Amino acid sequence: MAEIEREAMEYDVVIVGAGPAGLSAAIRLKQLDSDLQVVVLEKGSEVGAHILSGAVLDPCGLDALIPDWKDKGAPLNVPVKDDNFYMLGEAGQIRIPNFPMPPLMNNHGNYIVSMGNVCRWMAEQAEELGVEIFPGMACSELVYGDNGEVKGVVAGVFGLEADGSYGPNTEPGMELHGKYVFLSEGVRGSLSKEVIAKYGLSDGKEPQKYGVGMKEIWEIDPAKHKEGSVTHTMGWPLGSNAGGGSFIYHLDNNQVYVGFVVHLNYKNPHLYPYMEFQRFKHHPMVAELLKGGKRVAYGARAITEGGYQSMPKLVAPGVALLGCSAGMVNVPRIKGNHNAMLSGKAAAEAAYDAIKAERSSDELAAYEVSVRDGAIGADLKKVRNVKPMWSKWGLTASLMLGGLDMWTNTFGFSLFGTIGHGKNDAEATEPADQHKPIDYPKPDGVLSFDRLTNVAFAATNHEESQPCHLRLGNQDTPIQVNLPKYAEPAQRYCPAGVYEVVEKDGKPEFVVNFQNCVHCKTCDIKDPSQNITWTTPQGGDGPNYPNM
Ligand SMILES: Cc1cc2nc3c(=O)[nH]c(=O)nc-3n(C[C@H](O)[C@H](O)[C@H](O)COP(=O)(O)OP(=O)(O)OC[C@H]3O[C@@H](n4cnc5c(N)ncnc54)[C@H](O)[C@@H]3O)c2cc1C
């Protein structure tokens, strides 16, 4: 194929992804020097379209970045008023009192927000400072310089033929070069994955761990709505099949975020995370809340769970990993947005100092130090053993020992040192014949919904004539390996019904309905053969979340 010619644009800093990490970096760079040329590229059709984090936000990141965010109209309108934690059984629940909880678990001072709306507001702040933001621009490739450094990205490739070749309507995109490139793609970023592998950034670290989070927005009966109420549950319906739990956040306008996270290190390939979520809503406590209400939106996204010991090295020549591209979620708090913001600020400060010293395309070592030795490191270090304890010893032991460990870490020490995670989530999957299939009740269409009906509420859209962005390393692996050995779990772990095994001419065939993809990345993480690679489809495709 002839060499593709692309126009190139030069910037000081090129930022991939307009989430809280990328936007914070952009804002901080322009706060430090309004003459810096900063660009943010976002694959969603608009900023916020791919943000799934109807969230309890710890405002410490925003406080550090924009101390007068209240006066500037940031959409943090619902302070947390009460915090509830329940252990569920099939027919009832036990409330765990707040007093034995370590202080870091307290949500006092936090806000229930739509992170999509927070990002939209942050984008306005960034644009006012002169940042160029281009939504609908997926960054599909990295550009390397002569010395192996990351020099930029390719963005804005549109109209490829279905086989990936160039056709009459193909726009080749452009190269955006920067003195530094920030990858703030969120969990399991496709370019971040390439950079981590190329520079060996995870060498000597524990494997990254993940969960899949699914979420619905419900409008409920005003009589049952309690603005500012936060509830977390554990236990039923997952039991010993998998780690995970739920969250129920009452925002304003009688709306409630109902979400469910399943840790992806589950062993039983028959497990169906989406159906666990649907079943959860039939618990008497949850059903009572939702009865008479309606589900208005649905979405799904993986969440990083490896924490402190899984964070890769954050820098390589010319490039830095920000936020959840490096996995900065505090797992027991289910919070990562504050660290994403703080990492964006820290990366910006390191790049500003480097550019002022006339450096470029080298390693921003100061950023690495700032994250590990600063507020983010401190936040993640205190809770580093909770997830591996849960994986190794189950829910009850991890609640007690994890609670003890968080308490002692509050005072600066741990009795357990740092516990490793061991296997990655794909390796955790065991052969199907070692586990029993799970019989899930049929959704009733009132509280629970079948997957494809729900996917319609993610408003996801992919141009059908483009190449499938979910690439199979070996076309035969799903049917020849995954089906006999693992009952092809892609049929179940994907929360958007992308993968099916159908019968054609009496033989099983693997079908990839990439049009349904909500960009959660679960397939890239959980496929036991590690045969599926998530790549970016063309810009603007994917979910269109309203105020998730
Ligand atoms: C179900 C769930 C619930 C959560 N609840 C909370 C909570 O209550 N509180 C909390 O603080 N945290 C919560 N989190 C964690 C939080 O969402 C993350 O920590 C946070 O989103 C990380 O921010 P980020 O900027 O690194 O990435 P993201 O917010 O994921 O933003 C990344 C952006 O980059 C874009 N992008 C990715 N790749 C490319 C590319 N190649 N080209 C162009 N654009 C690209 C994406 O479209 C996206 O807009 C939750 C996560 C999940 C999944």
Q: 448 CB under 6 A from ligand 1?
A: no
Q: How remote is the CA of residue 48 from the centroid of ligand 1, in Å?
A: 10
Dihedral over alpha carbons 252, 61, 372, 133 (to 10 degrees): 100
Beta-bridge partner residues of 154: 141, 175
Q: How far is the CA of 416 from the centre of ligand 1 (A)?
A: 30
| Residue 2, pLDDT score | 59
19 ligand 1 Cβ < 6 A: yes
In angstroms, the CA 392 to CA 511 distance is: 35
Per-residue pLDDT at 395: 81
E-only strand ranges, 184-282? 210-219, 229-235, 244-250, 255-263
Atom of ligand 1 nearest to the CA of 213: 1
pLDDT at 503: 96
Give the angle 357-363-367 at the CA atoms, nearest 5°: 85
Q: Is the beta carbon of 57 within 6 A of some atom in ligand 1?
A: yes
In order along its 548 residues, the chain shows pLDDT tens digits of 557 889 999 999 999 999 999 999 999 999 999 999 999 999 999 999 999 977 999 999 999 999 999 999 999 999 999 999 999 999 999 999 888 778 888 899 999 999 999 999 999 999 999 999 999 999 999 999 999 999 999 999 999 999 999 999 999 999 999 999 999 999 999 999 999 999 999 999 999 999 999 999 999 999 999 999 999 999 999 988 899 999 999 999 999 999 999 999 999 999 999 999 999 999 999 999 999 999 999 999 999 999 999 999 999 999 999 999 999 999 999 999 999 999 999 999 999 999 999 999 999 999 999 999 999 999 999 999 999 998 888 888 778 888 888 888 888 888 889 999 999 999 999 999 999 999 999 999 999 999 999 999 999 999 888 999 999 999 999 999 999 999 999 999 999 999 999 999 999 999 999 999 999 999 999 999 999 999 999 999 999 998 77
Q: What's residue 397's pLDDT? A: 79
User: Long-range contact list for 90-97, CB < 8 A, 24+ apart?
Assistant: 90/236, 90/237, 90/283, 91/284, 92/284, 92/285, 93/233, 93/283, 93/285
Tokens 């002569």, located at residue: 146
Query: Using a 6 Å cutoff on CB, does residue 18 contact ligand 1?
Result: yes
Angstrom distance (rounded) from CA 130 to CA 166:
35
How high is the pLDDT of residue 71?
Answer: 98
pLDDT given at position 396: 81
Q: Establish whether the linkage from the previous residue to 317 is cis, with ω within 30° of 0.
A: no
Per-state percent for the chain, helix, strand, coil, to nearest 5: 30, 25, 45
For residue 116 and ligand 1, the question of a CB distance below 6 A is answered with: no
Pocket test for ligand 1, best of 158, 193, 334 (most atoms within 8 A of CB): 334
Residue 412's pLDDT is: 85
Half-sphere exposure of residue 382: CA atoms within 13 angstroms, side-chain side: 20
Q: Which two tokens stand for residue 248?
A: 């129920």
The length of the chain in residues reads: 548
- The residue whose CA is least distant from atom 13 of ligand 1 is 335
Q: How much is the pLDDT for 46?
A: 97
Where are the extended beta strands (E) located within 8-89? 8-16, 38-42, 55-57, 78-79, 82-88
CA of 206 to the centre of ligand 1 (A): 22
Please tell me the distance from the alpha carbon of residue 240 to that of residue 90, in angstroms, as a whole number. Answer: 13
Say yes or no: CB of residue 47 within 6 Å of ligand 1. Answer: no
Cα 336 to middle of ligand 1, angstroms? 8
The response to whether residue 209 sits with its C-beta less than 6 Å from ligand 1 reads no
Q: What is the pLDDT of residue 546?
A: 84
Q: What is the pLDDT of residue 460?
A: 95
Nearest-atom number in ligand 1 for the CA of 261 is 1
